[in-house]
Amino acid sequence: MNGLSKYYIRKIINCFSSEMTATETSRKLKINRNTVNKYYRIIRGAISNYQEIQRKIQHVPHDEQHYYFSWHKNKGLIHTVQDDTLAFKLSTNVDRVYIEVVRLEDIPEDQISMDNDSADENQNGANNGLGLDFGFSPTHLYYRNGKQPDTATRFFMYAKEKLTKFYGVKEEYTYLYLKELEFRFNNQDKDLGKLIWKILPHHSAEWLKTSKHRR
């Protein structure tokens, strides 16, 4: 099944949209896991390209407040940026979020934690590297002043929860996973399967080469 039919491509997209893992999709559709992994990577690549286009279309202000966080190979997604982590910048536009990879030298010094031991997750609501003050509740997130979490906080906690199962993901794929979550977060009110099918032919040359799109 190197060149999958539209039927199986749509099935894979639907499984991806439902957040099924490649292993689960392989078992359900009886398709080789390596094939599913390949299509999943292509989907994530197309989503990343699509989200970059959306960020430019939305004209996110350059002078707005940005939040910084990072991915630690042992701790997963963390609130702070350290000198040994892969760093990201989070921008918000109303209820949407946009992520970019950033170099440490481009991040304000007061956002970088040089004490790696102090950068662990703070479960008591202490101020963190995002500059946001929130804590945990058994049933929901809350600001210590009683307000509901803003967009940046909601996305960070959403992404952290989703990425918990991906601690073993290779560092070079972290950005693609985050762009996927950005895509899901920004399109919660849409049919993701239909949207993914729409953007693939336009944003993934690799997809066109891989798939014969047979009937």
Q: Give pLDDT tens digits for 95-107.
A: 889 999 888 777 7
Cα 93 from Cα 57, distance rounded (Å): 12
C-alpha separations of 15 from 27, 146, 166, 178, 196 in Å: 11, 38, 18, 18, 12
Q: Flag whether pLDDT at 89 surpasses 50.
A: yes
All residues at 6 or more sequence positions from 25 whose CB lies less than 8 Å from its CB, including other chains: 12, 15, 16, 31, 36, 40
Cα 184 from Cα 187, distance rounded (Å): 5
Mapped onto helix, strand or coil, the DSSP state of residue 142 is strand
Residue with more model confidence, 129 or 212: 212
Q: What's the pLDDT tens digit per position in 177-213?
A: 999 999 999 999 999 999 999 898 654 445 445 554 4
Q: Mean pLDDT throughout 136-161? A: 63
Q: What is the mean pLDDT of the chain?
A: 75
User: What is the pLDDT confidence band of residue 47, given thresholds at 50, 70 and 90?
Assistant: very high
Cα 97 from Cα 152, distance rounded (Å): 7
The conformation of residue 172, written as its DSSP 8-state character, comes to H
Cα 156 from Cα 76, distance rounded (Å): 12
Q: Flag whether pLDDT at 120 surpasses 60.
A: no
Closest CA to 80 of 134, 121, 108: 121
* pLDDT of res. 105: 79
* 177, 158 Cβ separation under 8 angstroms: no
Q: Mean pLDDT throughout 72-100? A: 82
* pLDDT of res. 27: 97
Q: What's the pLDDT tens digit per position in 1-41?
A: 347 888 999 999 999 999 999 999 999 999 999 999 999 99
* 94, 151 Cβ separation under 8 angstroms: yes
Cα 114 from Cα 124, distance rounded (Å): 21
What are the residue boundaries of the structural domains of the chain, listed by start? Answer: 6-210
User: What is the pLDDT confidence band of residue 78, given thresholds at 50, 70 and 90?
Assistant: confident
Q: Flag whether pLDDT at 147 surpasses 60.
A: no
Nearest-10 crossing angle of helices 171-186, 151-163: 130
pTM given for the model: 0.76
